[in-house]
Amino acid sequence: MSEDTGRFAGYRRADGSVGVRNHVLVLSPTGLTSAAAQRVAHLVSGCVAVTSGYGRGQVGDDAQLHFDTLAGLARNPNVAGVLVVSAADAITEPYLDALRASGKPADGLSLPGVHEDALALVDRGVRIAAQLVRGASEARREPCALADLFLAVECGHSDATSGLVCNPLTGRLAEAIVAAGGRAVFSETVEWTGAEHLLARRAASPEVAQRIVATVMARERAVRESGGDIRAQNPGPQNKTGGLTTIEEKALGAIAKGGERPIRGVLRAAERPAAPGLYLMDTPFFSPESMTAMVAAGAQMVVFTTGQGNSYCSALAPTFKMSANRDACARLREQIDFAATGVLDGEMPFDDAAAHALDALLGVASGTLTYGEIVGEGAEVVSRLGPSI
């Protein structure tokens, strides 16, 4: 660990949160304006676009999840300012209201305001985004503590090395942040199947324990009622190639990435934790939707463990890739940010690897780019709960 133990340089926001990046977000919550948003972000340095192919015709819980996720991404501490572009003022305004309530600089445009001229939308958007970027550039990093971090942990294309080394290493990182007064979360509900009773034992209250078990059972029931078989899809092909044989075996490795501290609650997708601590989040078990939900809840960083390799990254939260698979680390030099092969080979004690990993993670928090950021792998994917009407 660095001499300034447990500290990093971040951007303190108006609401007291801390960003590890300083993006201006161009947000399109409607499919009609996705191309315009992407053009604006391409033309203005310092911008990131997040778009949705939906945004109209959604009702009930599906519409609420869509809004909560996109508004949550816009409120992420890594975002310094937001331009919202949509198909109607009535869609743009609720996002602006949520952002202004948090103190985040934000502006909005809609197609009716430019007489449905998408090129005019881009022209105005470029000018507004340029002003937002100028304002964001005035921010300066300042010393921050581990307590300011909210860490999301994820695994994908896992193999035996994930459960043996990288997931426990990630668990150690989560424990360090939570012990310091920060937040950590892991999700992918189906990945807890067969180990939910072990998670329930760590619940901070009987109510949380019951919620953990009920959440897993609800996912299993939904798959069964759709005519599927949860165990036929999981473990997946990459997992089986890497030596994982059952969903229970995979789950024992997957839950290790949350460490061993008490679990304070089970969050809905994109729900922000009310207090410091370790949380679970009820999400689908594929990385794009799972990670987006956690970043929408406010996580500034993602630690993503992989065995065979997995290139997916968040667009807004730097995604720190770890692997202990020697072949993958040699083959994917521009994907893996931290190689933990020394632990598996017996060349490095686990505690030493954990200290080095935390030091590297804090370096990323202070501005070191991940390979995913360098090669532009970032994206965000919003879950759907039902059909549009």
Beta strands (DSSP E) in the chain are 7-12, 18-19, 23-28, 47-51, 79-86, 106-110, 142-145, 150-156, 183-186, 263-267, 277-281, 301-306, 313-314, 319-323, 338-339, 378-379
* pLDDT tens readout for residues 281-339: 999 878 999 999 999 999 999 999 998 899 999 999 999 999 999 999 999 999 999 99
d(CA 373, CA 39): 19
What's the pLDDT band for 195 if we cut at 50, 70, 90? confident
In this predicted structure, the answer to whether residue 245 has a pLDDT above a threshold of 60 is: no
Question: Coil, helix or strand for 305?
Answer: strand
Q: What is the mean pLDDT of residues 46-66?
A: 93
What's the pLDDT band for 146 if we cut at 50, 70, 90? very high
In this predicted structure, the answer to whether residue 228 has a pLDDT above a threshold of 80 is: no
* pLDDT tens readout for residues 148-182: 999 999 988 878 888 889 999 999 999 999 999 99
Number of other residues whose CB lies within 10 A of the CB of residue 17: 20
**In angstroms, how far is CA 248 from the centroid of its own chain?**
24
Cis peptide before 284 (omega within 30 of 0): no
What's the pLDDT band for 88 if we cut at 50, 70, 90? very high
Max CA pair span of the chain = 66
d(CA 70, CA 76): 10
pTM value is 0.94
* pLDDT tens readout for residues 98-118: 999 999 999 999 999 999 999
CA dihedral 101, 70, 219, 268 (to 10 degrees): -10
In this predicted structure, the answer to whether residue 32 has a pLDDT above a threshold of 90 is: yes
Closest by CA to 303, choosing from 117, 105, 156, 141, is 156
d(CA 67, CA 93): 12
CA dihedral 276, 281, 285, 287 (to 10 degrees): -40
Closest by CA to 176, choosing from 208, 145, 199, is 145
Number of other residues whose CB lies within 10 A of the CB of residue 64: 14
d(CA 196, CA 189): 9
* pLDDT tens readout for residues 338-347: 999 999 889 9
What's the pLDDT band for 256 if we cut at 50, 70, 90? confident
